[in-house]
Homo-oligomer: A and B are copies of this chain.
Amino acid sequence: MKPKFSGRTKRHQYLEEYLEMHPFVTDDELARHLGVSVATIRLDRQILGIPEVRKRLRFVAQDAFQKPTALDTHEVVGELMDLELNKSGISVLTITEDMVLEKTQVARGHYLFAQANSLAVSVVDAQVVWTGSARIRYKRPVYLGEKIVAKATVKAERGTTVLVSVHSKVDLEVVFKAQIVLSVQDQKFKRD
């Protein structure tokens, strides 16, 4: 097989990119893929400081094992601290690196809304709930590491519609407000 690349630097570049995409290939497979001997691949790896497959595997696996939270976050945004069904609820969310804009370390707005919205949905005790509309206002940016306490209160119920008001604070300062209108389809709720 003819080498796919003339010039070592080009091969090195390609090698790094390729391994980024396919971290689990062996030197043997790489050698065949690049039309070059296994010895060369090994040398290249050594020069570029790329560890063997098994270590690459280990890194990826351990990384994945470290933070299963990254996936959990999808469920309910924020931790429910208190809940009085159809009346009020409180949830707490601490801003982590995942949630901020890199440059400014400011939390992306939709995390605040996500916390408020999932809290509002939790407060309403019904089988089927969805968000109808909302009016939201960000009072000041929230930074990495800050702990947001959101309090939701049911303000009004009209037919299949519930108005929930959410105030989110960092310490004593209000950073976010939302009025959320939820649609409800459930007998229990109507009976109340």
Which residues of A come within 8 Å of B, CB atoms? 23-24, 54, 57-58, 60-65, 70-71, 73-74, 77, 98-99, 101, 103-104, 106, 108-110, 113-114, 117-118, 121, 127-138, 141
Contacts and interface: CB of A to CB of B under 8 A. Distances in A.
A71 B67 CA distance: 10
Contact of A130 (B71, B136, B141): B141
Q: How many copies does the complex hold?
A: 2
Given A57-B61, A64-B61, A109 B136 contact: no
Nearest to A134: B136
A117 B127 contact: no
A129 B107 CA distance: 11
Contacts of A106: 128, 130
Given A108-B117, A130-B141, 9 more contacts: A24-B65, A58-B61, A60-B61, A61-B64, A74-B98, A109-B121, A113-B117, A113-B134, A133-B135
